Structure 1
Amino acid sequence: MKKTIYLLCGLLCDAAVWEAQAAALQPDHEVRTISFEGLASMQAMADKVLADAPARFALAGHSMGGRVALEVVRRAPQRVERLALLDTGFEAAAPGEQQRRMVLVNQALKEGIASIAATWGLPMLAPAKRSEPRLVKAVVDMVGRMSGAIYAGQTRALLGRPDATDVLRSIACPAMVICGMEDGWSPPERHERMAELIPGAKLRLIEHSGHMSMMEEPEAVLRALREWLDMNTI
Protein backbone atom coordinates (compact mmCIF):
# COMPACT_ATOMS: atom_id res chain seq x y z
CA MET A 1 0.00 0.00 0.00
CA LYS A 2 1.28 3.47 -0.91
CA LYS A 3 2.18 5.81 1.93
CA THR A 4 0.06 8.99 2.03
CA ILE A 5 2.21 12.11 2.19
CA TYR A 6 0.77 15.55 2.92
CA LEU A 7 2.78 18.53 1.67
CA LEU A 8 1.57 21.73 3.34
CA CYS A 9 2.09 25.09 1.66
CA GLY A 10 3.27 28.27 3.32
CA LEU A 11 2.14 31.88 3.32
CA LEU A 12 1.06 33.03 -0.16
CA CYS A 13 2.15 29.69 -1.60
CA ASP A 14 0.25 27.11 -3.62
CA ALA A 15 1.10 23.71 -5.09
CA ALA A 16 3.80 25.26 -7.29
CA VAL A 17 6.11 25.49 -4.27
CA TRP A 18 6.13 21.68 -3.93
CA GLU A 19 5.81 20.88 -7.65
CA ALA A 20 9.20 19.22 -8.17
CA GLN A 21 9.06 17.08 -5.04
CA ALA A 22 5.41 16.08 -5.51
CA ALA A 23 6.05 14.95 -9.08
CA ALA A 24 9.08 12.89 -8.05
CA LEU A 25 7.36 11.22 -5.08
CA GLN A 26 3.99 10.61 -6.71
CA PRO A 27 4.85 7.34 -8.50
CA ASP A 28 5.61 5.58 -5.21
CA HIS A 29 3.34 7.44 -2.80
CA GLU A 30 -0.05 9.10 -2.60
CA VAL A 31 0.94 12.76 -2.47
CA ARG A 32 -1.57 15.40 -1.38
CA THR A 33 -0.51 19.04 -1.58
CA ILE A 34 -2.61 21.42 0.51
CA SER A 35 -2.71 25.22 0.45
CA PHE A 36 -4.73 27.40 2.76
CA GLU A 37 -6.53 30.10 0.81
CA GLY A 38 -9.53 31.53 2.65
CA LEU A 39 -8.52 30.34 6.12
CA ALA A 40 -7.52 32.63 8.99
CA SER A 41 -6.43 30.43 11.90
CA MET A 42 -3.97 27.62 12.57
CA GLN A 43 -6.86 25.59 13.94
CA ALA A 44 -8.91 25.89 10.74
CA MET A 45 -5.87 24.99 8.66
CA ALA A 46 -5.18 21.90 10.77
CA ASP A 47 -8.84 20.92 10.45
CA LYS A 48 -8.48 21.07 6.66
CA VAL A 49 -5.57 18.65 6.78
CA LEU A 50 -7.30 16.21 9.13
CA ALA A 51 -10.72 16.35 7.46
CA ASP A 52 -10.13 13.54 4.98
CA ALA A 53 -6.75 12.21 6.09
CA PRO A 54 -6.23 8.47 6.56
CA ALA A 55 -5.61 6.99 9.97
CA ARG A 56 -1.83 7.36 9.52
CA PHE A 57 0.08 9.64 7.17
CA ALA A 58 3.41 11.37 6.61
CA LEU A 59 3.37 15.13 7.05
CA ALA A 60 5.71 17.78 5.64
CA GLY A 61 5.14 21.50 6.06
CA HIS A 62 6.91 24.52 4.62
CA SER A 63 7.00 27.92 6.35
CA MET A 64 3.43 28.63 7.56
CA GLY A 65 2.66 25.04 6.54
CA GLY A 66 5.26 23.85 9.04
CA ARG A 67 3.39 25.65 11.79
CA VAL A 68 0.16 24.03 10.56
CA ALA A 69 1.94 20.67 10.70
CA LEU A 70 2.82 21.29 14.34
CA GLU A 71 -0.82 22.14 15.06
CA VAL A 72 -1.82 18.84 13.42
CA VAL A 73 0.65 17.03 15.68
CA ARG A 74 -0.74 18.90 18.68
CA ARG A 75 -4.25 17.68 17.83
CA ALA A 76 -3.60 14.18 16.50
CA PRO A 77 -0.07 12.98 17.28
CA GLN A 78 -1.00 9.32 16.91
CA ARG A 79 -1.95 9.87 13.26
CA VAL A 80 1.32 11.43 12.10
CA GLU A 81 3.61 8.60 10.99
CA ARG A 82 6.58 10.93 10.30
CA LEU A 83 7.13 14.68 10.24
CA ALA A 84 9.28 17.05 8.15
CA LEU A 85 9.52 20.76 8.92
CA LEU A 86 11.00 23.05 6.26
CA ASP A 87 12.03 26.72 6.57
CA THR A 88 9.60 27.34 9.40
CA GLY A 89 9.47 28.17 13.12
CA PHE A 90 7.86 27.23 16.39
CA GLU A 91 7.63 30.36 18.55
CA ALA A 92 4.54 32.49 19.11
CA ALA A 93 4.38 35.92 17.45
CA ALA A 94 7.16 38.25 18.58
CA PRO A 95 6.69 41.83 19.85
CA GLY A 96 6.32 44.17 16.91
CA GLU A 97 5.68 41.36 14.42
CA GLN A 98 2.11 42.42 13.76
CA GLN A 99 3.13 45.95 12.81
CA ARG A 100 5.87 44.69 10.49
CA ARG A 101 3.63 42.21 8.72
CA MET A 102 0.70 44.58 8.34
CA VAL A 103 2.67 47.07 6.24
CA LEU A 104 2.60 44.75 3.22
CA VAL A 105 -0.83 43.34 4.06
CA ASN A 106 -2.37 46.80 4.04
CA GLN A 107 -0.62 47.62 0.78
CA ALA A 108 -1.96 44.42 -0.79
CA LEU A 109 -5.49 45.18 0.40
CA LYS A 110 -5.30 48.73 -0.94
CA GLU A 111 -3.36 48.26 -4.19
CA GLY A 112 -3.75 44.57 -5.00
CA ILE A 113 -1.53 41.57 -4.39
CA ALA A 114 0.58 42.27 -7.49
CA SER A 115 1.86 45.44 -5.84
CA ILE A 116 3.74 43.46 -3.20
CA ALA A 117 4.56 40.23 -5.07
CA ALA A 118 8.18 41.07 -5.85
CA THR A 119 8.70 43.04 -2.61
CA TRP A 120 7.56 40.02 -0.61
CA GLY A 121 8.99 37.28 -2.82
CA LEU A 122 12.54 38.38 -3.63
CA PRO A 123 13.81 38.51 -0.02
CA MET A 124 12.59 34.94 0.38
CA LEU A 125 15.27 33.77 -2.06
CA ALA A 126 18.99 33.39 -1.48
CA PRO A 127 20.78 36.53 -2.77
CA ALA A 128 22.33 34.76 -5.76
CA LYS A 129 18.95 33.30 -6.75
CA ARG A 130 17.29 36.72 -7.02
CA SER A 131 18.85 37.18 -10.46
CA GLU A 132 17.47 33.93 -11.90
CA PRO A 133 14.55 35.09 -14.08
CA ARG A 134 12.71 31.76 -14.25
CA LEU A 135 12.77 31.24 -10.49
CA VAL A 136 11.82 34.83 -9.72
CA LYS A 137 8.93 34.66 -12.18
CA ALA A 138 7.68 31.41 -10.62
CA VAL A 139 7.62 32.97 -7.15
CA VAL A 140 6.06 36.26 -8.28
CA ASP A 141 3.44 34.43 -10.36
CA MET A 142 2.56 32.20 -7.39
CA VAL A 143 2.04 35.20 -5.12
CA GLY A 144 0.05 36.86 -7.89
CA ARG A 145 -2.46 34.00 -7.85
CA MET A 146 -3.40 35.01 -4.31
CA SER A 147 -5.23 38.17 -3.16
CA GLY A 148 -5.04 40.79 -0.49
CA ALA A 149 -7.85 39.07 1.40
CA ILE A 150 -6.01 35.71 1.34
CA TYR A 151 -2.85 37.42 2.54
CA ALA A 152 -4.70 39.15 5.37
CA GLY A 153 -6.37 35.93 6.51
CA GLN A 154 -3.19 33.89 6.47
CA THR A 155 -1.38 36.67 8.32
CA ARG A 156 -4.07 36.61 11.02
CA ALA A 157 -3.46 32.89 11.36
CA LEU A 158 0.28 33.41 11.77
CA LEU A 159 -0.13 36.20 14.29
CA GLY A 160 -2.44 34.02 16.37
CA ARG A 161 -0.20 30.97 16.31
CA PRO A 162 0.51 29.26 19.63
CA ASP A 163 4.01 28.54 20.86
CA ALA A 164 4.89 24.98 19.80
CA THR A 165 7.90 24.27 22.02
CA ASP A 166 6.04 21.59 23.97
CA VAL A 167 4.80 20.03 20.72
CA LEU A 168 8.36 19.68 19.46
CA ARG A 169 9.44 18.01 22.69
CA SER A 170 6.52 15.57 22.47
CA ILE A 171 7.14 14.33 18.92
CA ALA A 172 7.52 10.55 18.94
CA CYS A 173 7.80 9.78 15.21
CA PRO A 174 10.73 10.02 12.77
CA ALA A 175 11.34 13.72 12.16
CA MET A 176 13.55 15.83 9.94
CA VAL A 177 14.16 19.58 10.03
CA ILE A 178 15.22 21.14 6.70
CA CYS A 179 16.35 24.71 6.07
CA GLY A 180 18.03 26.76 3.38
CA MET A 181 21.45 27.84 4.61
CA GLU A 182 20.72 31.37 3.36
CA ASP A 183 17.19 31.59 4.73
CA GLY A 184 17.05 35.13 6.11
CA TRP A 185 13.41 34.87 7.15
CA SER A 186 13.68 31.72 9.28
CA PRO A 187 17.43 31.13 9.73
CA PRO A 188 19.34 27.89 10.24
CA GLU A 189 19.94 28.67 13.92
CA ARG A 190 16.20 28.40 14.58
CA HIS A 191 16.10 25.03 12.85
CA GLU A 192 19.08 23.80 14.85
CA ARG A 193 17.09 24.61 17.98
CA MET A 194 14.03 22.81 16.60
CA ALA A 195 16.10 19.71 15.85
CA GLU A 196 17.48 19.81 19.39
CA LEU A 197 13.98 19.93 20.84
CA ILE A 198 12.61 16.99 18.81
CA PRO A 199 13.77 13.60 20.13
CA GLY A 200 15.88 11.84 17.50
CA ALA A 201 15.37 14.47 14.80
CA LYS A 202 17.73 14.89 11.86
CA LEU A 203 18.77 18.32 10.57
CA ARG A 204 19.54 18.94 6.91
CA LEU A 205 20.76 22.36 5.70
CA ILE A 206 20.36 23.08 1.99
CA GLU A 207 23.24 24.97 0.39
CA HIS A 208 22.65 27.89 -2.02
CA SER A 209 19.07 28.23 -0.80
CA GLY A 210 16.91 30.74 1.03
CA HIS A 211 13.37 30.42 2.39
CA MET A 212 11.91 28.86 -0.77
CA SER A 213 14.24 25.87 -0.61
CA MET A 214 11.97 23.49 -2.54
CA MET A 215 11.94 25.84 -5.53
CA GLU A 216 15.54 27.06 -5.20
CA GLU A 217 17.26 23.68 -4.80
CA PRO A 218 14.59 21.12 -5.70
CA GLU A 219 16.91 18.12 -6.06
CA ALA A 220 18.67 18.71 -2.74
CA VAL A 221 15.33 19.00 -0.93
CA LEU A 222 14.06 15.89 -2.69
CA ARG A 223 17.11 13.93 -1.51
CA ALA A 224 16.43 15.05 2.05
CA LEU A 225 12.78 14.04 1.79
CA ARG A 226 13.68 10.62 0.42
CA GLU A 227 16.04 10.16 3.37
CA TRP A 228 13.22 11.24 5.68
CA LEU A 229 10.82 8.74 4.15
CA ASP A 230 13.39 5.98 4.71
CA MET A 231 13.99 6.84 8.36
CA ASN A 232 13.17 4.00 10.71
CA THR A 233 10.43 4.39 13.27
CA ILE A 234 11.89 5.49 16.62
Structure 2
Amino acid sequence: MPTLKIRDLDQVYYDQKGEGPDVLVITGTGSDLRRPPTPLDSPLTKHFRVTTYDQRGLGQTSKPDDGYTMEAYADDAAAIMDALELAPCPVLGISFGGMVLQNLMARHPGKVSRAALWCTSPGGAGGASYPLDTLSPDLTQEEKFRTMIKLSDNRVTDDWFEKDVEKVEVLRKRADKTEFYGEHNYQHGMAMQIQARKHHDCWEALAGIDTPALCGGGTNDDIATPEAMRNLAERMPNAELRLYDGGHMFFIQVPEAYDDLIAFFKAS
Protein backbone atom coordinates (compact mmCIF):
# COMPACT_ATOMS: atom_id res chain seq x y z
CA MET A 1 0.00 0.00 0.00
CA PRO A 2 1.71 3.25 -1.12
CA THR A 3 1.72 5.87 1.62
CA LEU A 4 3.31 9.21 2.41
CA LYS A 5 4.14 10.95 5.67
CA ILE A 6 3.36 14.66 5.38
CA ARG A 7 2.78 17.50 7.80
CA ASP A 8 0.86 16.17 10.83
CA LEU A 9 -0.26 13.00 9.04
CA ASP A 10 1.74 9.83 9.67
CA GLN A 11 0.06 8.09 6.74
CA VAL A 12 -1.55 9.37 3.57
CA TYR A 13 -2.76 6.61 1.29
CA TYR A 14 -2.41 7.38 -2.41
CA ASP A 15 -2.50 5.47 -5.66
CA GLN A 16 -1.51 6.04 -9.26
CA LYS A 17 -2.53 4.58 -12.60
CA GLY A 18 -1.86 5.31 -16.26
CA GLU A 19 0.98 6.76 -18.28
CA GLY A 20 1.65 10.23 -19.61
CA PRO A 21 1.61 13.71 -18.07
CA ASP A 22 0.66 13.90 -14.41
CA VAL A 23 -2.86 14.76 -13.28
CA LEU A 24 -3.92 14.98 -9.63
CA VAL A 25 -7.53 14.24 -8.63
CA ILE A 26 -8.92 15.46 -5.31
CA THR A 27 -12.08 13.59 -4.37
CA GLY A 28 -15.26 14.50 -2.52
CA THR A 29 -17.06 14.24 0.79
CA GLY A 30 -16.60 10.89 2.54
CA SER A 31 -14.51 9.50 -0.31
CA ASP A 32 -12.70 6.23 0.39
CA LEU A 33 -10.58 4.66 -2.34
CA ARG A 34 -11.74 1.24 -1.15
CA ARG A 35 -15.17 2.13 -2.55
CA PRO A 36 -15.11 2.08 -6.39
CA PRO A 37 -15.47 3.63 -8.83
CA THR A 38 -12.50 5.86 -8.10
CA PRO A 39 -10.67 8.32 -10.36
CA LEU A 40 -8.37 5.43 -11.29
CA ASP A 41 -11.34 3.76 -12.99
CA SER A 42 -11.98 6.81 -15.18
CA PRO A 43 -11.01 7.49 -18.82
CA LEU A 44 -8.33 9.88 -17.55
CA THR A 45 -5.93 6.97 -17.01
CA LYS A 46 -5.83 6.31 -20.77
CA HIS A 47 -4.21 9.70 -21.33
CA PHE A 48 -2.43 10.67 -18.10
CA ARG A 49 -0.70 9.27 -15.05
CA VAL A 50 -3.46 9.88 -12.53
CA THR A 51 -2.70 10.32 -8.84
CA THR A 52 -5.40 10.38 -6.19
CA TYR A 53 -5.47 9.92 -2.42
CA ASP A 54 -7.60 9.54 0.68
CA GLN A 55 -7.85 12.93 2.37
CA ARG A 56 -7.17 13.45 6.07
CA GLY A 57 -9.68 11.61 8.21
CA LEU A 58 -10.87 9.43 5.34
CA GLY A 59 -10.20 5.98 3.95
CA GLN A 60 -6.80 4.58 4.80
CA THR A 61 -5.22 7.95 5.63
CA SER A 62 -4.49 9.09 9.20
CA LYS A 63 -7.51 10.31 11.15
CA PRO A 64 -6.27 12.80 13.74
CA ASP A 65 -8.47 14.16 16.50
CA ASP A 66 -8.25 17.72 15.18
CA GLY A 67 -6.75 19.85 12.41
CA TYR A 68 -9.71 19.68 10.01
CA THR A 69 -9.86 23.02 8.20
CA MET A 70 -10.12 23.95 4.53
CA GLU A 71 -6.63 25.41 4.81
CA ALA A 72 -5.31 22.10 6.14
CA TYR A 73 -6.87 20.10 3.30
CA ALA A 74 -5.29 22.50 0.79
CA ASP A 75 -1.89 22.36 2.46
CA ASP A 76 -2.10 18.55 2.49
CA ALA A 77 -2.65 18.57 -1.28
CA ALA A 78 0.32 20.88 -1.78
CA ALA A 79 2.54 18.65 0.37
CA ILE A 80 1.48 15.57 -1.59
CA MET A 81 2.29 17.31 -4.86
CA ASP A 82 5.73 18.20 -3.50
CA ALA A 83 6.42 14.71 -2.14
CA LEU A 84 5.47 13.03 -5.44
CA GLU A 85 7.04 15.79 -7.58
CA LEU A 86 3.78 16.45 -9.43
CA ALA A 87 3.71 20.24 -9.48
CA PRO A 88 2.98 22.07 -11.62
CA CYS A 89 0.29 19.86 -13.14
CA PRO A 90 -3.43 19.88 -13.99
CA VAL A 91 -5.72 19.13 -11.04
CA LEU A 92 -9.31 17.92 -10.99
CA GLY A 93 -11.33 18.69 -7.86
CA ILE A 94 -14.65 16.88 -7.49
CA SER A 95 -17.33 18.31 -5.16
CA PHE A 96 -15.54 18.86 -1.81
CA GLY A 97 -12.34 18.25 -3.74
CA GLY A 98 -13.21 21.30 -5.84
CA MET A 99 -13.35 23.37 -2.67
CA VAL A 100 -9.93 22.03 -1.66
CA LEU A 101 -8.61 22.86 -5.13
CA GLN A 102 -9.80 26.47 -4.87
CA ASN A 103 -8.01 26.83 -1.53
CA LEU A 104 -4.94 25.11 -2.98
CA MET A 105 -4.70 27.65 -5.81
CA ALA A 106 -5.25 30.54 -3.41
CA ARG A 107 -2.65 29.38 -0.89
CA HIS A 108 -0.06 27.81 -3.21
CA PRO A 109 0.14 29.76 -6.49
CA GLY A 110 1.96 28.02 -9.32
CA LYS A 111 1.31 24.43 -8.28
CA VAL A 112 -1.77 24.01 -10.49
CA SER A 113 -1.27 24.47 -14.23
CA ARG A 114 -4.93 23.89 -15.13
CA ALA A 115 -7.90 23.46 -12.83
CA ALA A 116 -11.05 21.45 -13.40
CA LEU A 117 -13.70 22.33 -10.82
CA TRP A 118 -16.53 19.81 -10.95
CA CYS A 119 -19.84 19.97 -9.03
CA THR A 120 -18.55 22.40 -6.43
CA SER A 121 -19.12 25.97 -5.25
CA PRO A 122 -17.15 29.13 -4.46
CA GLY A 123 -18.75 29.78 -1.08
CA GLY A 124 -19.42 33.20 0.39
CA ALA A 125 -21.28 35.64 -1.84
CA GLY A 126 -21.01 33.19 -4.73
CA GLY A 127 -23.13 30.57 -3.03
CA ALA A 128 -22.41 27.44 -1.02
CA SER A 129 -23.06 23.80 -1.75
CA TYR A 130 -25.94 22.14 0.11
CA PRO A 131 -25.26 22.32 3.89
CA LEU A 132 -24.76 18.65 4.66
CA ASP A 133 -24.10 19.56 8.30
CA THR A 134 -27.81 20.40 8.65
CA LEU A 135 -29.00 16.87 7.86
CA SER A 136 -30.60 15.45 10.97
CA PRO A 137 -28.40 12.97 12.88
CA ASP A 138 -31.61 11.07 13.63
CA LEU A 139 -31.99 9.97 10.00
CA THR A 140 -31.63 6.25 9.51
CA GLN A 141 -29.00 4.97 7.08
CA GLU A 142 -31.73 4.36 4.49
CA GLU A 143 -33.31 7.80 5.00
CA LYS A 144 -29.95 9.49 4.61
CA PHE A 145 -29.21 7.45 1.47
CA ARG A 146 -32.52 8.43 -0.15
CA THR A 147 -32.11 12.07 0.82
CA MET A 148 -28.65 12.24 -0.70
CA ILE A 149 -29.75 10.54 -3.92
CA LYS A 150 -32.57 13.04 -4.38
CA LEU A 151 -30.29 15.98 -3.64
CA SER A 152 -27.74 14.62 -6.10
CA ASP A 153 -30.31 14.53 -8.90
CA ASN A 154 -33.56 16.43 -8.48
CA ARG A 155 -35.23 14.33 -11.16
CA VAL A 156 -35.34 11.37 -8.76
CA THR A 157 -38.79 10.70 -7.25
CA ASP A 158 -39.75 8.41 -4.37
CA ASP A 159 -41.12 5.71 -6.65
CA TRP A 160 -37.78 5.43 -8.51
CA PHE A 161 -36.28 3.52 -5.57
CA GLU A 162 -38.77 0.72 -6.14
CA LYS A 163 -38.69 0.83 -9.95
CA ASP A 164 -34.94 0.59 -10.63
CA VAL A 165 -34.03 -1.83 -7.84
CA GLU A 166 -30.77 -3.10 -9.36
CA LYS A 167 -29.31 0.38 -9.85
CA VAL A 168 -30.47 1.45 -6.40
CA GLU A 169 -28.66 -1.49 -4.82
CA VAL A 170 -25.42 -0.57 -6.60
CA LEU A 171 -25.69 3.00 -5.32
CA ARG A 172 -26.64 1.86 -1.83
CA LYS A 173 -23.62 -0.45 -1.59
CA ARG A 174 -21.31 2.30 -2.83
CA ALA A 175 -22.64 4.72 -0.22
CA ASP A 176 -22.55 2.25 2.68
CA LYS A 177 -19.32 2.54 4.67
CA THR A 178 -20.57 0.98 7.89
CA GLU A 179 -18.08 -1.87 7.55
CA PHE A 180 -15.32 0.67 8.26
CA TYR A 181 -16.98 2.30 11.27
CA GLY A 182 -14.92 0.20 13.68
CA GLU A 183 -11.68 1.78 12.45
CA HIS A 184 -10.15 4.40 14.72
CA ASN A 185 -11.77 7.82 14.21
CA TYR A 186 -13.45 6.76 10.94
CA GLN A 187 -16.80 8.40 11.71
CA HIS A 188 -15.02 11.30 13.42
CA GLY A 189 -12.98 12.01 10.28
CA MET A 190 -16.09 12.08 8.07
CA ALA A 191 -17.91 14.37 10.51
CA MET A 192 -14.96 16.76 10.75
CA GLN A 193 -14.73 16.99 6.96
CA ILE A 194 -18.37 18.11 6.82
CA GLN A 195 -17.70 20.68 9.55
CA ALA A 196 -14.74 22.06 7.58
CA ARG A 197 -16.84 22.11 4.42
CA LYS A 198 -19.37 24.57 5.83
CA HIS A 199 -16.61 27.16 6.31
CA HIS A 200 -15.46 27.07 2.68
CA ASP A 201 -15.33 30.58 1.20
CA CYS A 202 -12.95 31.39 -1.65
CA TRP A 203 -15.12 34.08 -3.22
CA GLU A 204 -12.68 36.94 -2.66
CA ALA A 205 -9.59 34.92 -3.57
CA LEU A 206 -11.05 33.56 -6.81
CA ALA A 207 -11.08 36.99 -8.45
CA GLY A 208 -7.29 36.98 -8.36
CA ILE A 209 -6.69 33.41 -9.59
CA ASP A 210 -5.99 33.44 -13.33
CA THR A 211 -5.21 29.73 -13.66
CA PRO A 212 -7.07 28.32 -16.71
CA ALA A 213 -10.15 26.63 -15.30
CA LEU A 214 -12.94 24.40 -16.57
CA CYS A 215 -16.03 24.51 -14.36
CA GLY A 216 -18.37 21.56 -14.89
CA GLY A 217 -21.72 20.86 -13.31
CA GLY A 218 -25.05 19.12 -13.69
CA THR A 219 -28.26 20.93 -14.56
CA ASN A 220 -30.16 18.77 -12.05
CA ASP A 221 -27.74 19.05 -9.14
CA ASP A 222 -29.21 20.34 -5.86
CA ILE A 223 -25.91 19.95 -3.99
CA ALA A 224 -23.69 22.14 -6.17
CA THR A 225 -26.33 24.12 -8.00
CA PRO A 226 -25.99 25.40 -11.58
CA GLU A 227 -26.24 28.94 -10.18
CA ALA A 228 -23.26 28.41 -7.88
CA MET A 229 -21.31 26.89 -10.78
CA ARG A 230 -22.10 29.92 -12.96
CA ASN A 231 -20.97 32.26 -10.21
CA LEU A 232 -17.74 30.30 -9.82
CA ALA A 233 -16.92 30.45 -13.54
CA GLU A 234 -17.80 34.14 -13.81
CA ARG A 235 -15.69 35.01 -10.77
CA MET A 236 -12.46 33.51 -12.12
CA PRO A 237 -10.70 35.60 -14.79
CA ASN A 238 -9.76 32.65 -17.02
CA ALA A 239 -12.59 30.14 -16.55
CA GLU A 240 -15.22 28.54 -18.74
CA LEU A 241 -18.45 26.83 -17.71
CA ARG A 242 -19.99 23.64 -19.05
CA LEU A 243 -23.27 22.34 -17.69
CA TYR A 244 -24.38 18.81 -18.54
CA ASP A 245 -27.74 17.05 -18.50
CA GLY A 246 -27.15 15.26 -15.22
CA GLY A 247 -26.97 15.54 -11.47
CA HIS A 248 -24.11 15.81 -8.99
CA MET A 249 -22.41 12.82 -10.64
CA PHE A 250 -22.96 14.18 -14.15
CA PHE A 251 -19.57 12.88 -15.28
CA ILE A 252 -20.78 9.31 -14.79
CA GLN A 253 -24.13 10.04 -16.43
CA VAL A 254 -22.73 11.99 -19.40
CA PRO A 255 -19.56 10.44 -20.91
CA GLU A 256 -18.85 13.57 -22.97
CA ALA A 257 -17.86 15.34 -19.78
CA TYR A 258 -14.65 13.33 -19.63
CA ASP A 259 -13.99 14.00 -23.31
CA ASP A 260 -14.18 17.73 -22.59
CA LEU A 261 -11.95 17.38 -19.53
CA ILE A 262 -9.29 15.39 -21.38
CA ALA A 263 -9.20 17.96 -24.19
CA PHE A 264 -8.94 20.77 -21.64
CA PHE A 265 -6.06 19.14 -19.78
CA LYS A 266 -4.24 18.27 -23.00
CA ALA A 267 -4.45 21.90 -24.12
CA SER A 268 -1.77 22.68 -21.54
Q: Which runs of 5+ in 1 are unaligned?
A: none
- Provide Cα deviations, 1:81-119, integer angstroms capped at 9, x if missing partner: 100111110114989x86x72433x337xx6x5662333
How far apart, in 1, do the equivalents of 2:196 and 2:138 lie? 18
Match of 1:84 in 2: 116
How far apart, in 2, do the equivalents of 1:193 and 1:81 lie? 22
Sequence identity (%): 22
Paired letter, 1:205: L
How far apart, in 2, do the equivalents of 1:59 and 1:22 lie? 16
Match of 1:116 in 2: 144
How far apart, in 1, do the equivalents of 2:166 and 2:26 lie? 23
TM-score (norm 1): 0.80
Structure in which a larger fraction of residues adopt helix: 1
How far apart, in 2, do the equivalents of 1:135 and 1:69 lie? 31
Residues 25 and 50 in structure 2, CA contact (< 8 A), matched pair in contact too: yes
Paired letter, 1:46: A
Residues 204 and 224 in structure 1, CA contact (< 8 A), matched pair in contact too: no
Alignment CA distance shift 1:177-1:17 (3 Å): farther
| Alignment RMSD (CA, Å) | 3.0
Q: Are 2:88 and 1:56 equivalent residues in the alignment?
A: yes
How far apart, in 2, do the equivalents of 1:117 and 1:212 lie? 15
Deviation of the 1:141 alpha carbon: 2.4
1:26-65 matches, within 5 Å, as 26-36=45-55, 37=58, 38=63, 40-53=68-81, 54-65=86-97
**Paired residue total:** 223
Paired letter, 1:197: R
Name the SS for the 2:248 alignment partner.
coil
How far apart, in 2, do the equivalents of 1:134 and 1:10 lie? 24
Match of 1:107 in 2: 138
Paired letter, 2:188: A
Match of 1:175 in 2: 213
Paired letter, 2:206: L
TM-score (norm 2): 0.71
Q: Are 2:20 and 1:2 equivalent residues in the alignment?
A: yes
Alignment CA distance shift 1:18-1:60 (3 Å): farther
Could you say which structure has the larger radius of gyration? 2
Residues 7 and 59 in structure 1, CA contact (< 8 A), matched pair in contact too: yes
How far apart, in 1, do the equivalents of 2:119 and 2:99 lie? 10
Deviation of the 1:21 alpha carbon: 7.2
Q: Which runs of 5+ in 2 are unaligned?
A: 1-18, 182-186
Per chain length, whose mean CA-contact separation is higher, i.e. which structure has more relative contact order (CA < 8 Å, sep 6+)?
Answer: 1
How far apart, in 1, do the equivalents of 2:142 and 2:32 lie? 16
Deviation of the 1:223 alpha carbon: 1.5
- Provide Cα deviations, 1:11-60, integer angstroms capped at 9, x if missing partner: 12344576477532213211012343147321222232122212312111
How far apart, in 2, do the equivalents of 1:228 and 1:17 lie? 25
- Structure 1: 4+ residue segments shifted above 4 A: 15-18, 128-135
Name the SS for the 1:127 alignment partner.
coil
Match of 1:220 in 2: 256
How far apart, in 2, do the equivalents of 1:17 and 1:178 lie? 21
How far apart, in 2, do the equivalents of 1:20 and 1:65 lie? 12
Deviation of the 1:136 alpha carbon: 3.6
Residues 27 and 96 in structure 2, CA contact (< 8 A), matched pair in contact too: yes
Paired letter, 2:199: G
Alignment CA distance shift 1:44-1:22 (3 Å): farther
